[in-house]
Structure 1
């Protein structure tokens, strides 16, 4: 886990559902630090600094591209 670094942080567990599925389908190793803790107690998110998405250094650019695509395609109806 030494080579894994935080690429982004989420406040609530429901925000990571789609991203988790995409990363699994792409075969990218990842870790959501504090995921279960915040899923159980959402108000603890601020105290623990949110849910940290950690990925391997070699996958950093690939995951950043996925995050950018998700952010650019987000439409609120």
Structure 2
């Protein structure tokens, strides 16, 4: 997984739940670096720089579109 690159970071584990589902449904390979560590100790997020979403370079544009859609179209009531 050395060829995977960081696309974005999140501060807390609850922020990645919806994104994980979308990436799984679209069959995009990814992993979240520091996810388990920060799930156990949320304050460690600040020490480790957050949860890093890493994807393969071939999927960067698709993932950026997904992130953009989530940022603009996610309406939670």
TM-score category by the smaller chain? Answer: over 0.9
User: Residue in 2 aligned with 1:65?
Assistant: 65
Cα distance in 2 for residues equivalent to 1:44 and 1:75: 29
Cα distance in 2 for residues equivalent to 1:76 and 1:35: 23
What's the offset of the Cα at 1:76? Answer: 5.8
The TM-score with structure 1 as length reference comes to 0.95
Cα distance in 2 for residues equivalent to 1:33 and 1:76: 26
User: Residue in 2 aligned with 1:54?
Assistant: 54
The TM-score with structure 2 as length reference comes to 0.95
How large is the RMSD of aligned CA atoms in angstroms?
A: 1.0
Where in structure 2 are the equivalents of 1:39-50 lying within 5 Å?
39-50=39-50
1:10-40 Cα deviation digits (max 9, x unpaired): 0000000000000000000001000000000
User: Residue in 1 aligned with 2:22?
Assistant: 22
User: Residue in 1 aligned with 2:5?
Assistant: 5
Q: What stretches of structure 2 of length at least 5 have no aligned partner?
A: none
